[in-house]
C-alpha cells in the first residue's frame, strides 16, 4: 500500500510536526491530487516499480508525500529526468509531477518532445492559473481578465497572448495509438482517480500519458471557500474537462 507519509507543516513547529499537519497552504489542491494519485497507484499495485519526480514550485513539496522512490529536479526539468529513468530501466513506471509553469513555461520544450517521441511515462500538470509558490504571479494558464500580482488589472490577452491549454497542445502532437491525454479536476476526485488509472495503464503498455488537473490556490487567489469553488467552476468552463486521446483497452 502507498503510505501517505506524515507531513511537516508549512511553518514548522514541534506541536504541528508531531500532529503531521499538511505542508501545503490551507485549501491547496495539491494534497487532493497527490492522495488520489496514491489511491490509483495502490489500485494497480505498482508501488514497488514507481519512480515519482517533482518540479520546483509548490509541487516540490510532494517529494516525500508518498512512500515511493522519488526525485526532486530543477525547475522545468522533471520530464527529462523521468524519461531518463525509464529509458535506463524500462520496467519503471515513471511519473513527472509539475505545475503549469514547470510544464508550460520553462519546461514546455521537454513536454513537447516527450509527447512527440511517445516516452514511456506519465506527466501530471497541476493547473491553478498562477505561480503559487512565488507569490501568485501570472502563469501561462492565467485566464483572461484574471488578476494576479503581475496583472493587477486583469490579464490583457492583447498584451500577453492567450492562456496556454496543455491538454489541447499535447493531444495535437502525439501518436494516438500509444497515448493517453486528459484534463481532470479536483472537483471530482472519483473521476480523477479513474483518469490516473487509465493514464498509468497506458504507461504500463509502453505509452505516453499526460493528465492536466485543474486545481485551486485560495491563498494567492484571495478567495474564501465559496469563491474558490466558483473560480474552479469557471476554470472548468474555460479549460474543457474530458479525455482528449485514449486508445482502446484502458481501464479506469
Cα-Cα end-to-end distance for the chain: 19
Helices (H), 58-188: 78-88, 100-104, 108-117, 157-160, 166-171
Closest CA to 38 of 75, 17, 7, 13: 7
Question: What cell numbers appear for 69 in the block?
Answer: 522512490
Element (H, E) at 155: none
* 214 closest CA partner among 237, 235, 242: 235
User: Counting Cβ atoms within 10 Å, is residue 59 exposed (0-12), middle (13-18) or buried (19+)?
Assistant: buried
Residue with grid cell 520553462, as numbered in its chain: 106
R_g of the chain, CA atoms, integer Å: 17
Confidence (pLDDT) at 51: 97
**Architecture field, domain 27-246:** 3-Layer(aba) Sandwich (3.40)
Q: What pLDDT is attached to residue 249? A: 76
Q: What pLDDT score does 13 carry? A: 45
| d(C-alpha 35, C-alpha 174), whole Å | 28
The beta strand positions in 128-196, using DSSP E, are 179-185
pLDDT of residue 9: 41
Tens-digit pLDDT string for the chain (252 aa):
665 555 444 444 444 444 456 788 989 999 999 999 999 999 999 999 999 999 998 888 888 888 899 999 999 999 999 999 999 999 999 999 999 989 999 999 999 999 999 999 999 999 999 998 888 899 999 999 999 999 999 999 999 999 999 999 999 999 999 999 999 999 999 999 999 999 999 999 999 999 999 999 999 999 999 999 999 999 999 999 999 999 877 876
Query: Which residue's entry shows cell 474543457?
Result: 240
Q: Beta-strand (E) ranges in 22-92?
A: 50-54, 69-72
Rounded Cα gap, residues 246 and 249, in angstroms: 9
- Rounded Cα–Cα distance for residues 49 and 38 (Å): 13
Q: Which three cell numbers stand for residue 158?
A: 492583447
CB atoms within 10 A of CB 197: 19
132 contacts 220 by C-beta, under 8 angstroms: yes
Is the CB of residue 94 less than 8 Å from the CB of residue 185? no
State CA 173 to chain mean position distance. 20
Amino acid at each position: 500500500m502507498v503510505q501517505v507519509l506524515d507531513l511537516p507543516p508549512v511553518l514548522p513547529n514541534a506541536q504541528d510536526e508531531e500532529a503531521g499537519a499538511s505542508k501545503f497552504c490551507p485549501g491547496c489542491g495539491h494534497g487532493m491530487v497527490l492522495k488520489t494519485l496514491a489511491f490509483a497507484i495502490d489500485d494497480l499495485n505498482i508501488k514497488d516499480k514507481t519512480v515519482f519526480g517533482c518540479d520546483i514550485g509548490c509541487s516540490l513539496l510532494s517529494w516525500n508525500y508518498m512512500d515511493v522512490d522519488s526525485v526532486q529536479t530543477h525547475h522545468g526539468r522533471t520530464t527529462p529526468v523521468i524519461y531518463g529513468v525509464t529509458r535506463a530501466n524500462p520496467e519503471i513506471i515513471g511519473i513527472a509531477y509539475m505545475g503549469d509553469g514547470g510544464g508550460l513555461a520553462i519546461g514546455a520544450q521537454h513536454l513537447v518532445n516527450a509527447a512527440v517521441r511517445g516516452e514511456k511515462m506519465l506527466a501530471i500538470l497541476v493547473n491553478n492559473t498562477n505561480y503559487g509558490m512565488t507569490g501568485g504571479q501570472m502563469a501561462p494558464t492565467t485566464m483572461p481578465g484574471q488578476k494576479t500580482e503581475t496583472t493587477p488589472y486583469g490579464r490583457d490577452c492583447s498584451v500577453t497572448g492567450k492562456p496556454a491549454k496543455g491538454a489541447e497542445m499535447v493531444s495535437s502532437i502525439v501518436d494516438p495509438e500509444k497515448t493517453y491525454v486528459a484534463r481532470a479536476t479536483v472537483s471530482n476526485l472519483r473521476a480523477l482517480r479513474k483518469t490516473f488509472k487509465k493514464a498509468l495503464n497506458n504507461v504500463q503498455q509502453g505509452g505516453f500519458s499526460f493528465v492536466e488537473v485543474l486545481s485551486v490556490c485560495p491563498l494567492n487567489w484571495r478567495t474564501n471557500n465559496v469563491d474558490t469553488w466558483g473560480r474552479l467552476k469557471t476554470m472548468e468552463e474555460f479549460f474543457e474537462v474530458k479525455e482528449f486521446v485514449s486508445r482502446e483497452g484502458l481501464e479506469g
